[in-house]
Amino acid sequence: MNQDNDKALITIEPYSPHWPIEYQQLRDVYEKHLKGLYHDIQHVGSTSVEGLAAKPILDIDIILGDESALSEIISRLQQIGYRYMGTMGIPGRHAFAAASVDVPIGVPEGRMDHHLYVCMQGTLALENHIRFRDYLRNHPEALIEYAKLKQGLAVTATSMESYVSQKTAFIIGVLQICGLGDDAIGAIRSANEEGIIDIE
C-alpha cells in the first residue's frame, strides 16, 4: 500500500456517545455465543474513554482465565463469521478479523469496524490495554494531551506504522506511571515501534 493510501486511513473523530452503544451490541452477541467460556469482556482502546477523540474503530478484549477454552472460543467465533488470525507476534493475545461487513451475525446493520482479541488473564497484552485505558479515564489532562497528539499525527504521519510508532513515548510514559516494570515496558516499546500493535 502506498503512503497516500495509508495516510488516508488515519481518521480521528470527536468522541461519540454512540461508541459504547455499538460496543454493547457486540458484547451481547459474544455473551450469547460464548456463554460459560470466558472470564470477562472489556471495551478497550480510545473509543472506551469518554471524551477522547479516536479512530472510529472499537477495540474489544474477551478475557480467558486459562487456555483450556481457547479452541472452543475460536470455533464459536468462526461460526459467527470471524477469521482467526493467530497471535500476530503478541504472546497471550489472539486476534480475530471480521470476514465481511455482516460479522458478527446478530448485530444490526451498520455496525462499526472493530478489532476483536481473546486475551489470557494476567498477560502483558491485556494489562497494557486495561491500565492505559483506566489511566486516561481518570486523568483528564492526559486525555487532552493524548487527543492532541493523535490529531496532530493523523495530519503529519506518513503511514499507519509511523502513526503508531510516534505515539509510543506517550504510551510508555503512562504505563511507567501505572507501574509496569522495565521488561514489560521494553516489550511494549519494541512492539509499538515495529508497528505490530496499536495501543489506542
Handedness of CA 184, 188, 189, 191 (dihedral sign): positive
Which domains are seen in the chain, by residue range? 3-193 (3.30.460.10)
Residue 160: predicted pLDDT: 81
Q: 3-state class of 172 per DSSP? A: helix
For residue 143, what is its C-alpha cell? 486525555
Q: How far apart are CA 27 and CA 32, in angstroms?
A: 9
Q: Give the pLDDT means over successive 10-residue stretches in the chain (200 positions).
A: 48 96 95 96 97 95 95 97 93 92 82 94 91 97 96 88 84 90 80 58
Check: pTM over 0.75? Answer yes or no: yes
Residue 193: predicted pLDDT: 60
Contact 107, 32 (CB under 8 A): no
β-strand pairing of 57-64 with 113-120: parallel
Task: Give the CA radius of gyration of the chain.
Answer: 16
